[in-house]
Amino acid sequence: MSRRLPLGERETARTACARGLLRTGVVEKTGAVLSAAVLAERVGWAADLVSGMAAGLLAAHWSAVDVGLLASGVDAEGRGLPSNAWMALRRLGWTTAPADGIRVNDRIVRMAQEQAGRLLRSAKWRADLTTGVIETWPADPAKRTPGEWDAVREAVPEGKHLPSGVIRSRTRQIAAFTGTYGRKPADVFELEAAPRAARMLLLSACDGQQATLARGDDPGRALLRLQLPTRPDPRSYGDWAWVACPITLPPTVPPGALLHLPTLRVRSARVHADLAYTHAVPAARSTGHTVALGVDWGLNTLLSAGAVRLHDNGTITALGAGAQFRTAGVLAKQHRLRRQGEQLHAKTDHYHRLINDTESHHLTGKHAMLAEEVRHLSDRRSNLNDALARSAARWTVDQAIAARASVIYVEDLRSMEARGMGRTLNSRLSQQIRGQIVDRMRHLAAEAGVAVVTVPARGTSRHCPRCLVPLRHRKAPDRPTTPGWKWALCPNLDCRWQGDRDTGAWQRIAARGLTHQTKTVIDRTSNTMVIRSVVDQLEATAVVEAATTAPVCRDRSKTGPTRHATPRPAPRRRGAPSPTGPTGPAGKRPEGHAHTGRRQLPRAAHRHQGVTTISTPTTRRHRPRGAALGAGFHLHTHATPPRWAEPLPDPTVRMGSLS
């Protein structure tokens, strides 16, 4: 198979990853078929050998000298180190070997060196950040002065654009160490232990002597061949055997994509494969945008998005009224699971203190049962977060495609901190999966050639999108008895704009991105497009002008005689009874034009869902109505349809003050 990907005009190569599953395997020498459990056992034996050697390398070289030498990119003789981590470690002479009596080939050692090298390289940034914070330690760690902020940003590499939250979190970590040991740590290697080596197989570090991957006749299937041990402690090369594992490729993998060797992980007696592939996508540009989608984050209304257009004369107008992605029900369930997890963790820790490493303690069984329940609850939270991230990202990219936008502007998530709102609300804000949503958003937007750019978040919800005057926040006019600040009102008498707070925020984000698009740069650490700072001269032009075009009405003047309409006879009756509803009695009378599907959605799909919304309980026990009817996740996720037509006049602009 050719390893070159043909590219057309204005196309670029993109490497993505998809999930796969190894369900069975065949031993090539004997023809024996391996079940999923046996295959997972053998892959686990190989992963244990790799993780053991990787852990030894991490423990031996977890120091400032070795990490700095690896991150410098040159060896002792001044030659440049290879980009592959396992090759760089071998150039430096950092080798490893299995336990005595264990026989593995050189490719198994490569995977251990690759995993350890990646972890050691990633520690360099944390080491420099920790050293800079320690050297410029403030007088009051809870509150730095402006001069102390300037000093720490000068001491940290690229600290000028580093979010304050990153520095504060590292400061709190060092302060906790100081409170425990009575002194500050010397560096990050004293502050943190060596990272744990994951139980996985990085087949990308191997060649054809350990693993191969090729497509079959069916473009949706591939065949993975790899050597696996036949026992947990292989004593000779005869204890290794070639196993052929068919893989069903996910539908997201294009037929012409180049497949790379996957990464194998064992979880719940199943082998998961992270399939990397390279394919051609439209190239996303950083400048030259005229239509942009602005995305604002909220608490219960997770996303608010809308499109704006930059005209030739420099003016910016909104396209439609925007849309919202509301997930109050899903987020309420997420936070209920979080509170339940906190209670289980507290109880498990209490049992652990009571047991005190006593094997024959009568609470050992309960402790194991609670630990298993904690793991199960963590899986539920992880699956819910993953489903929410995928759904929200898919909705956002669909909004951009429908509006024909070439860029999506989102707020810089790293500058958002949950402070000063109470313990419960701070926890809810800090545990929202915004970062995971943006990662999914970049993944899906790259398929359509749409750029995703982060912009500074300061002032987007505070200032008016039309005159940049600070807004006043009031109760929503449709909910006058509910306290809050969702409705924004401009105090400028020449503007008097008012609307939903999130609507003004996405307009400000999109307008700021379009006016600052020439300031878009590529972040070297994350390889993403960012706008680092706001320029006052450009920000003064980031205003969204009101729509001046009135809606065009159809001419309804009379041009001829009115057509005679005959009285319609009664509809014909069907001879067979109509289908019964989900709760209706059987044997209904024949009726006319009755809809044969579900007559209406469950009541939970229509009601307002607050932060504490739960399904309606019955008289005896709690029975979620949505789950009983099979609605599932999307019963509690609501998205307003996009309206990308010509903007209609806003009837609330001249309403005046709500007071």
The answer to whether 354 touches 361, Cβ cutoff 8 Å, is yes
C-beta neighbour count of 137 within 10 angstroms = 16
In which band, very low, low, confident or very high, does the pLDDT at 180 lie, cut at 50, 70 and 90?
very high
In which band, very low, low, confident or very high, does the pLDDT at 126 lie, cut at 50, 70 and 90?
very high
Domain definitions of the chain by residue range:
12-137+184-279, 291-545
Average pLDDT over residues 510-537: 90
CA–CA gap between residue 182 and residue 149 (Å, rounded)? 24
Quick one: pLDDT at residue 255?
A: 87
Of the listed ranges 457-466, 517-526, 547-556, 593-602, the least confidently predicted one is 593-602
Distances in Å between the Cα of 527 and the Cα atoms of 157, 195, 390, 521, 522 are 17, 24, 21, 10, 6
In which band, very low, low, confident or very high, does the pLDDT at 333 lie, cut at 50, 70 and 90?
confident
Residue 659 has pLDDT above 60, yes or no: no
Token pair 């001419």 is at which residue?
555
Tokens of 246: 């068919």
Of the listed ranges 37-46, 139-148, 354-363, 436-445, the least confidently predicted one is 354-363
Tokens of 39: 């295959």
Quick one: pLDDT at residue 304?
A: 92
Higher pLDDT, 231 or 584: 231
The answer to whether 152 touches 171, Cβ cutoff 8 Å, is no
Instruction: Give the burial class of 138: count Cβ atoms within 10 A of its Cβ; 0-12 exposed, 13-18 middle, 19 or more buried.
Output: middle
DSSP single-letter state for residue 326 = E
Amino acid occupying residue 617: P
Of the listed ranges 333-342, 547-556, 615-624, the least confidently predicted one is 615-624
**In 3D, which of 181, 179, 155 has the Cα closest to residue 167?**
155
Query: Measured between alpha carbons, how far apart are the two ends of the chain, in Å?
Result: 72
The answer to whether 276 touches 17, Cβ cutoff 8 Å, is yes
Of the listed ranges 224-238, 408-422, 513-527, the least confidently predicted one is 408-422
Tokens of 520: 């878009």
In which band, very low, low, confident or very high, does the pLDDT at 227 lie, cut at 50, 70 and 90?
very high
Average pLDDT over residues 155-167: 84
CA–CA gap between residue 509 and residue 307 (Å, rounded)? 10
The answer to whether 228 touches 45, Cβ cutoff 8 Å, is yes
How does strand 316-326 pair with strand 291-297?
Answer: unpaired
Q: Residues of the chain with pLDDT > 90: what percent?
A: 54
Higher pLDDT, 439 or 163: 439
What does residue 297 show for φ and ψ, rounded to 5 degrees? -100, 145
Of the listed ranges 272-281, 418-427, 453-462, the least confidently predicted one is 418-427
Average pLDDT over residues 551-562: 70
Higher pLDDT, 308 or 651: 308
Q: In 3-state terms, what secondary structure has residue 611?
A: coil
Q: Nearest 10 degrees: CA dihedral of 9, 12, 16, 18? A: 10
Average pLDDT over residues 577-606: 51
Quick one: pLDDT at residue 127?
A: 94
What residues form DSSP beta bridges with 264? 201, 273
Residue 607 has pLDDT above 60, yes or no: no
Whole-model pTM: value is: 0.76
The answer to whether 630 touches 319, Cβ cutoff 8 Å, is no
In which band, very low, low, confident or very high, does the pLDDT at 229 lie, cut at 50, 70 and 90?
very high
**In 3D, which of 330, 309, 213, 287 has the Cα closest to residue 639?**
330
In which band, very low, low, confident or very high, does the pLDDT at 654 lie, cut at 50, 70 and 90?
very low
Q: In 3-state terms, what secondary structure has residue 279?
A: strand
The answer to whether 297 touches 411, Cβ cutoff 8 Å, is yes
Higher pLDDT, 290 or 618: 290
How does strand 263-267 pair with strand 291-297?
Answer: unpaired
Q: How far is CA 586 from the centre of its chain?
A: 47
**In 3D, which of 439, 393, 391 has the Cα closest to residue 413?**
439
pLDDT tens, residue by residue, 504-521: 999 999 999 999 999 999
C-beta neighbour count of 157 within 10 angstroms = 13
In which band, very low, low, confident or very high, does the pLDDT at 361 lie, cut at 50, 70 and 90?
confident
The answer to whether 24 touches 246, Cβ cutoff 8 Å, is yes
Residues 6 or more apart in contact with residue 77 via CB below 8 angstroms: none
CA–CA gap between residue 83 and residue 287 (Å, rounded)? 31
Average pLDDT over residues 306-316: 93
Q: In 3-state terms, what secondary structure has residue 408?
A: strand
Higher pLDDT, 314 or 583: 314
What residues form DSSP beta bridges with 201? 264
CA–CA gap between residue 174 and residue 419 (Å, rounded)? 20
Quick one: pLDDT at residue 96?
A: 93
Quick one: pLDDT at residue 52?
A: 95
Higher pLDDT, 219 or 227: 227
> Which of 394-403, 418-427, 542-551 is modeled with the greatest confidence?
394-403
Task: Give the Cα-Cα-Cα angle 32, 37, 42 (nearest 5 degrees).
Answer: 70
DSSP single-letter state for residue 487 = E
pLDDT tens, residue by residue, 296-306: 988 768 899 99
